[in-house]
């Protein structure tokens, strides 16, 4: 049996948004986004029962506050996002069948939506269960989802007054039968049993509950829930169906694929590999933002060979209980330098993906995105540059760009990540949201960045006092490399005060694939490195503004080389085809940045991360490249035509446990 190489990381559930702490955080309306999710849509279900005619405590009625809040949502949604409006209790003084679709699901018509809600007058009962069933039918009538999720957004100031059907039972049935459907609920001035029922509906429906004690809170919570629905992860790839056993697994060729995966399910995919090439695999799950997860819920990946051999394995943990965010796990089959391992052989292999979920976690099937890439050996006669397992000038004390930030808008995932150059950038993100960026990094260069979360006005004495802010960096092959090194601080508690995170990579070197550090091995190919920034779901109970500002300070350090060889010259362009970033502090940098102090974010009074047990990665000493033509004997294609070197324990990749999971039982 091949020895097992296990890698464990605390998944800092990706996400890196460049938003701005420097810009003022406007609580009111924001400019509508210009993009809409592919497929999917949303139905707002508005309580128009008699109780909505009551004063909301500010001299206006609850229904008037709701009308204004719906208008705020309409202004913030992306152009063309499929949106509908259903009301209940608006047509009869009594009646448990009183539910009506006033705006069918269709590409967003802001004026039409505002006019429709302005005509609603509160009158009767509260048939929540029946209205949820009807809203699901409304979404089905519009059409299925093709990459975007479907959302029911329920706003109510009380509990169901009709009893049958039970709202919680309806939500549970919908949540089980439609994996891409979520039900978010907003409780407007509710407490006791009414709040408990709305919380139950949200949990059973794979969504979240938002508390709105006043009109201002109602507007911002509706805006948050609506924008999260519209800005879901955009999937891409050929449809494939993994199987629970090797024998029936579908065969994949290099490319990108989509599938789904349920709780505690394992999926197999067959691949045929030669004996000399490196094969890179990744799996990304895209659950509904904020869906229920446990801190030890995980995405586990393996490369299997033969009847019972595991070549490589990796596990990424959510590491928090606030709610789900996109989670990616990746790994590579790297033929050893000696060529004598069991997993060095040509033949049939299997890429294995397993979703591990605790009882009470989200029960829906999650969209799953797979990538498979093959790296062929270097050309004969090319001696690779030595490995680069140390951070060097890209460590935690690196000098990063300073100056005024430029506005940018991050993507929803790997497929639409926004390309950045080194500099200072700002963005805004929602609680439970992850934003994505991509930075071209050439051979011999390394990525280093900070993410600074803004000082935001907070809601006094309401709900949780702390959420979390996190970031992660991924290789061009979508392998996370930032966690568990002990070098950076990629996650902190967030309570509305300035908070700064750090992240980076070692220099890109072809020979890194033969190192042992899990943050080094994947950094073996130049290209676009992905940055992800995430804000915890409980920030919705802390921040007064709908979105939270973040600033990203990005540096690409070192001079880009023209290739992976030891004698490669300076590159004219990066691997992505763009102009190569100038070396840090280069006098000829032109439009580059001047080194300046990193603006440190204020630390929280709590002061400590709840992640524990991050083990320092074991780094091997660098190996110098073997001179061309050195020695004699058989040629090894894995080392680009160099003579075959004897296999020694020091030359093999050492198996290691790299424990970086969250402290068991603790939440963020």
Query: 132 near 171, Cβ under 8 Å?
Result: yes
Q: How far apart are CA 422 and CA 408, in angstroms?
A: 13
Is the predicted pLDDT of residue 439 greater than 60, yes or no? yes
Question: pLDDT band at 432, cuts 50/70/90?
Answer: very high
What does the domain layout of the chain look like in residue ranges? 41-231, 235-377, 382-567
Q: How far apart are CA 448 and CA 446, in angstroms?
A: 7
Question: pLDDT band at 179, cuts 50/70/90?
Answer: low
> Mean pLDDT over residues 407-429, rounded?
97
Residue 628 or 417, more confident: 417
Q: How far apart are CA 542 and CA 431, in angstroms?
A: 10
- Which two three-digit tokens encode residue 375? 């790296």
pLDDT in tens, 55-76: 999 999 999 999 999 999 999 8
Q: For the domain with range 235-377, which CATH number is right: 3.40.50.300, 2.60.15.10, 2.60.120.380, 3.40.50.1000?
A: 2.60.120.380
HSE, side-chain direction, 13 A CA sphere, residue 396 = 11
Is the predicted pLDDT of residue 107 greater than 70, yes or no? yes
Task: Give the pTM.
Answer: 0.80
Going by their DSSP bridges, the two strands 327-333 and 527-535 should be labelled as unpaired
3 state SS of 403 = coil
- Cα dihedral across residues 471, 616, 3, 645: positive or negative: positive
Backbone angles phi, psi at 69, to 5 degrees: -65, -40
CATH class name, domain 41-231: alpha beta
Q: What percent of the chain has pLDDT over 70?
A: 78
Cα–chain center distance at 227? 16
Q: How far apart are CA 155 and CA 198, in angstroms?
A: 9
Is the predicted pLDDT of residue 451 greater than 80, yes or no? yes
In the numeric block, the tokens 């930075």 are attached to: 439
The closest of 76, 73, 62, 167 to 120, measured between CA atoms, is 62
- Cα dihedral across residues 116, 118, 123, 127: positive or negative: positive
Query: 107 near 71, Cβ under 8 Å?
Result: no
pLDDT in tens, 326-337: 999 999 999 998
What's the pLDDT at 512? 97
Helix (H) or strand (E) segment spanning residue 473: strand 467-474
> Mean pLDDT over residues 398-424, rounded?
96
Query: 74 near 111, Cβ under 8 Å?
Result: no
> Mean pLDDT over residues 236-250, rounded?
97
Is the predicted pLDDT of residue 608 greater than 50, yes or no? no
The closest of 534, 537, 509 to 523, measured between CA atoms, is 509
Q: How far apart are CA 295 and CA 357, in angstroms?
A: 10
Is the predicted pLDDT of residue 10 greater than 90, yes or no? no
Edge-to-edge strand ranges of the sheet holding 83-88: 99-106, 83-88, 41-47, 150-156, 181-188, 209-212
pLDDT in tens, 542-599: 998 999 999 999 999 999 999 999 999 999 865 444 444 433 323 332 223 333 333 3
3 state SS of 83 = strand
Partners of 499 in beta bridges: 453
Is the predicted pLDDT of residue 1 greater than 80, yes or no? no
Query: 459 near 541, Cβ under 8 Å?
Result: yes
The closest of 357, 218, 338, 262 to 650, measured between CA atoms, is 338
> Mean pLDDT over residues 113-127, rounded?
95
DSSP 8-state class, residue 662: B
The closest of 231, 42, 76, 62 to 154, measured between CA atoms, is 42
Return the beta strands (E) in 240-365 as ranges: 255-261, 266-273, 278-285, 298-305, 309-317, 327-333, 347-356
Question: pLDDT band at 405, cuts 50/70/90?
Answer: very high
Backbone angles phi, psi at 393, to 5 degrees: -70, -10
pLDDT in tens, 483-541: 778 899 999 999 999 999 999 999 999 999 999 999 999 999 999 999 999 999 999 98
> Mean pLDDT over residues 134-161, rounded?
85
Instruction: Using the CB atoms, write b or e for 481-496: b if 16+ within 10 Å.
Output: bbbbbebbbbbbbbbb
174: left (phi over 0), alpha (psi -120 to 50) or beta: alpha
Q: How far apart are CA 197 and CA 159, in angstroms?
A: 7
> Mean pLDDT over residues 88-116, rounded?
95
Fold match between domain 235-377 and domain 382-567: yes
Is the predicted pLDDT of residue 11 greater than 50, yes or no? no
Instruction: Using the CB atoms, write b or e for 85-110: b if 16+ within 10 Å.
Output: bbbbbbbeeeebebbbbbbebeebeb
CATH topology of domain 382-567: Jelly Rolls (2.60.120)
DSSP string, 189-246: S--HHHHHHHHHHHHHTT--EEEESSHHHHHHHHHHHHHHHHT-----SEE---BSSG
Question: pLDDT band at 176, cuts 50/70/90?
Answer: confident
Q: How far apart are CA 438 and CA 417, in angstroms?
A: 6
The closest of 287, 289, 548 to 430, measured between CA atoms, is 548
Q: How far apart are CA 367 and CA 232, in angstroms?
A: 11
């Amino acid at each position: 049996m091949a020895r097992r190489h296990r890698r464990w990381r605390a998944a800092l559930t990706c996400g890196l948004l460049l938003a701005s702490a420097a810009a003022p955080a406007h609580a009111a309306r924001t400019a509508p986004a210009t993009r809409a999710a592919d497929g999917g849509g949303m139905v707002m279900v508005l309580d128009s029962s008699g109780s909505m005619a009551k004063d909301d405590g500010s001299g206006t009625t609850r229904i008037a506050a709701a009308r204004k809040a719906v208008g705020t949502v309409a202004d913030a949604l992306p152009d063309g996002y499929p949106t509908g409006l259903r009301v209940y209790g608006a047509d009869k003084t009594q009646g448990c069948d009183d539910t009506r679709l006033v705006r069918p699901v269709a590409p967003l018509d802001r004026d039409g939506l505002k006019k429709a809600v302005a005509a609603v007058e509160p009158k009767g009962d509260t048939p929540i269960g029946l209205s949820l069933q009807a809203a699901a039918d409304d979404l089905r009538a519009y059409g299925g989802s093709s990459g975007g999720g479907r959302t029911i957004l329920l706003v109510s100031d009380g509990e169901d007054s009709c009893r049958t059907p039970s709202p919680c039972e309806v939500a549970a049935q919908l949540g089980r039968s439609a994996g891409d459907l979520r039900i978010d609920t907003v409780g407007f001035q509710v407490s006791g049993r009414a709040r408990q029922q709305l919380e139950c509906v949200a949990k059973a429906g794979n969504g979240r509950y938002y508390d709105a004690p006043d009109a201002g809170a109602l507007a911002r919570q509706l805006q948050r829930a609506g924008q999260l629905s519209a800005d879901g992860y955009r999937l891409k790839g050929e449809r494939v169906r993994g199987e629970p056993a090797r024998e029936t697994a579908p065969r994949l060729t290099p490319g990108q694929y989509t599938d789904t995966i349920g709780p505690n399910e394992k999926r197999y995919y067959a691949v045929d590999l030669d004996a000399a090439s490196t094969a890179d695999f990744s799996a990304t799950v895209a659950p509904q933002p904020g869906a229920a997860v446990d801190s030890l819920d995980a995405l586990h990946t393996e490369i299997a060979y033969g009847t019972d051999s595991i070549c490589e394995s990796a596990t990424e943990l959510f590491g928090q209980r606030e709610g789900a965010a996109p989670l990616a796990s990746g790994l590579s089959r790297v033929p050893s330098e000696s060529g004598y391992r069991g997993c060095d052989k040509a033949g049939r292999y299997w890429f294995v993906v397993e979703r591990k979920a605790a009882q009470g976690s989200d029960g829906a099937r999650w969209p799953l995105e797979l990538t498979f890439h093959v790296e062929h050996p270097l050309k004969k006669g090319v001696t690779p540059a030595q490995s680069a397992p140390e951070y060097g000038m890209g460590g935690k004390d690196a000098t990063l760009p300073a100056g005024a930030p430029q506005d940018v808008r991050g993507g929803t995932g790997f497929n639409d990540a926004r390309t950045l150059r080194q500099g200072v950038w700002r963005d805004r993100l929602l609680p439970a949201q992850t934003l994505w960026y991509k930075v071209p990094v050439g051979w011999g260069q390394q990525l280093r960045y900070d993410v600074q979360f803004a000082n935001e006005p907070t809601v006094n004495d309401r709900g949780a006092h702390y959420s979390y802010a996190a970031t992660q960096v991924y290789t061009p092959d979508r392998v996370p490399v930032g966690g568990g090194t002990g070098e950076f601080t990629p996650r902190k508690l967030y309570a509305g005060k300035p908070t700064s995170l750090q992240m980076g990579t070692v220099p890109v070197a072809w020979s890194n694939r033969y190192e042992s550090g899990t943050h080094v091995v994947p950094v073996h190919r130049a290209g676009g490195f992905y940055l992800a920034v995430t804000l915890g779901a409980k920030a919705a109970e802390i921040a007064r503004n709908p979105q939270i500002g973040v600033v990203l300070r990005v540096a690409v350090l070192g001079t880009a080389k023209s290739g992976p060889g030891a004698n490669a010259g300076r590159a004219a362009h990066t691997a992505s085809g763009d102009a190569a970033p100038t070396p840090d502090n280069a006098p000829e940098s032109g439009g580059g940045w001047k080194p300046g102090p990193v603006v440190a974010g204020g630390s929280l009074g709590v002061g400590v991360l709840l992640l524990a047990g991050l083990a320092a990665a074991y780094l091997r000493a660098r190996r110098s490249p073997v001179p061309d033509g050195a020695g004699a004997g058989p040629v090894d294609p894995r080392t680009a035509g160099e003579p075959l070197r004897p296999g020694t324990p020091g030359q093999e990749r050492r198996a290691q446990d790299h424990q970086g999971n969250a402290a068991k039982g603790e939440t963020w």
